[in-house]
Structure 1
Amino acid sequence: MNFNGQEITKVAVIGLGMTGRSCASYLIKQGLLPLLVDTRENLDRSLLPEPFAQCELALGDLDNIDFAEYQLLVVSPGISIRQPAFEKAKAQGCIVAGDIELFANAVSVPVLAITGSNGKTTVTSLLEAMAKENGVNAIAAGNIGVPVLDVVDDKSIELFILELSSFQLETTDNLCLKAATVLNISDDHMDRYDGLDDYAQAKQRIYRNCQMPIVNRQDARTHMLDGRGQSFGLDAPANDNEFGLKNGSLMRGDTPLMSVNDMAMVGVHNQLNAQAAIALGLQVGFSLDAMIATLKSFTGLEHRCQKVASNDGILWLNDSKATNVGATLAALEGLKSHDGNLVLIAGGDAKGGDLSPLLKPFNEQVSDIIVMGKDAHLFKSLSDNVREVNNMQEAVSLAASLANRGDIVLLSPACASIDMFSNYMERGQQFMTAVGGLHEH
């Protein structure tokens, strides 16, 4: 297999989760038999796909595996490449890459890419809907939907729209993009990075080989050092390379595009997401009229300020995908104009993040805070109105006793879910189920 101009014959795949299995399957189709590596010593080989049976399997500590004979290590995004095993392998001349770099070597149609601490799934999904409205056969992939290598050879696809995590970008060097954006940067994954600037640098790798960077005017950590590209923001745009807000309208330069009241999504954060999507779409020839039509009907995503059916006059919102502080801040900002009380359900695994930015909105905007999970205790220094519970059912029952008709109960955890749930979707589903159960007799 030719990879970045080099003929590869010896390759190892590190990590056999969904992405790793996708990489292994792709490499086998290229005629290679990769070494399959996983740190789980008790991994049951019989559960692996049948084609993997021909491959050698190594389980356990990476430091005990000699990668000297391998030209390429394909590392899953959940595994840090800063481990000594990878430093040693690179010193021996081995290339360390990820699934997106393999994709970059194989893709032959235009690619858009989106990253950021918050909003990237919304913008990626919105762009996919805009593509459909434009009659373009596009697919959202990467950190959303299907792994990219499962669909890279599909000749019917005219455009790839990739949501990329910082972990994926760490192992990506040669992805050529028509346009890309870093939507925002806030504390996330601080258990893996040496501070916010280190995390931002990983995100900014998306701009390598990018024809049109699109940055957030209000967030300097999203900016190109050379100032190149277009921008979006909360202020009025100065020229046609800027998108923004003025007099209640989405704007490009001096041109109003649509009233924000006509958008199906609510909240200032979604007005920024809409601007970013329009800027990206224009770079691949999407019709402005078609994109505006999409914004009038696109209601957003599950587990993202999703309304939960209820007949008690309380607005229950499932924002379980708010797995970091920035996402919860965005949700609270979007609800700032609400007149009634706001009860917040939060907590989980804070991943080493700084919760202090929540102090101001907690004390100005939130009437009661219900917390659970591994880092629940960290919230107690932020407000006098924090109550701890053991599980989601208790949280919803307590919230129901605190909220009245006209109030909002918001599940927006500001934390990852992995301490108590298999993922944020299960957390959100438990919330919705518990809300539904309140009204069963």
Structure 2
Amino acid sequence: MFENLSAKLSQITRKLINQRRLNENDINDFLRQIRMALLEADVNFKVVKSLIESIKNETRDPEFSKSLNPGYLLVEILKQQLITILTSDNSELVKSNNNCSKILLVGIQGSGKTTTAAKLSFYLNKLNQKTLLVANDLVRPAAIDQLIKLANDNELDIYYDKKINDSIKIAENSLKLSSDNQYQWTIIDTAGRSQLDDEMMKELITIKNKVNPEECILVVDSMIGQTAVDIANSFNEKLGLTGLIITKLDGDSKGGSAVSIVKETGLPIKFIGTGEKVDEFDKFYPDRISSRILGMGDLQTLAEKASEQIDHQKAEDLTKKIVSDSFDFNDLLDQMNSIKKMGSLENIINMIPGVNLNQMGSKLSENESKMNKMKYMIDSMTPIERRNPNILNVSRRKRIASGSGLTHIEVNQLINQFNQTKKMMKSFYGKNGRNLNKLIKSGNFPN
């Protein structure tokens, strides 16, 4: 997410942040580099011009020249200006006071609308808010089947009717079903087109008038660049949008559309899609995104994702197993699965301050590959072998290598790596186990 922009901006700010003295030339050079980095990242030139002018005005304040660390202050000014650009009112979902709240998702074809409908339903369900998905894209082949599969795979409630070829009728039926079954949210997927056309807009306007949704949200592919602003303005003019969901940010190394779209449309970004999996979907926080853009990481989101995966009883049991030297391959597999549930290694590392993904290069994919190989190896073990790593003799290792598709050498390396990790963990936990147990019982994990 924002790899290119983040790498350039963090490189620029790192040079400046500890400078105790800045003259006018230093400031102008900094602003020139920021301008170029933002323009290259597809940020709208009007937005860039406004940002640079705002920073210049801040530096003219007498307090700036009196600062003991003007370099750090200038970087903070940039961060605050980015937060201001990305912040908009009404970023929370609007709920109905009486009945089930309705969310109408609209967008052009290929924006990730159908997947986003499932992600939003999954997100709200995690908050114990009962949702009904409505498969109402009757234009794209297999759109209904795609949403059915996503719903079934993730235990989401869905309404569809393949016998009805009338999107208005399906929308009306879904509202009755929601009301009868006391759903808190109804999320309606709609048909998109390869381009904006009057037929699509007329259908969406009719559906919106019938449904009267609390939220009419445009799903936008971040990778289409500045075109996103034009699409958002066109939909907003015809439909009266209440917000945006930006998708495919995990593949958007530039990030310009996310920076531009709020400023240019005045619409709030409600959520962002950060990966293909149904749980790779986050609420939009302008301050956290600004930190990521500047290469400052996002420890708060990382801590929240980690806490979602922590089972305090399991964590306490794990500590005891490590201290007693009974940590086995089942425990390792559990830990690996917990990490995977937090998202890809790339997304996790992107939240850590000061880490440049571009500089890591092939090391990141190598580590991901090692984790996958370790999983293949463990999956090829018998239950007894997983519980008793010490019985893995030469013949067992050869069988595991054959079953996992790995070489005998790779299996030996992975087992040696497991043994080294086990020793290191025992050394650490042995010294700190008592404190860790207290921490686990309290549930007060540091952010």
Give me the TM-score of the superposition, normalised by structure 2: 0.29
Which one has a larger percent helix, Structure 1 or Structure 2? 2
Q: TM-score, normalised by structure 1?
A: 0.29
Which is higher, the Rg of structure 1 or of structure 2? 2
Higher RCO structure, 1 or 2 (CA under 8 Å, sep 6+): 2
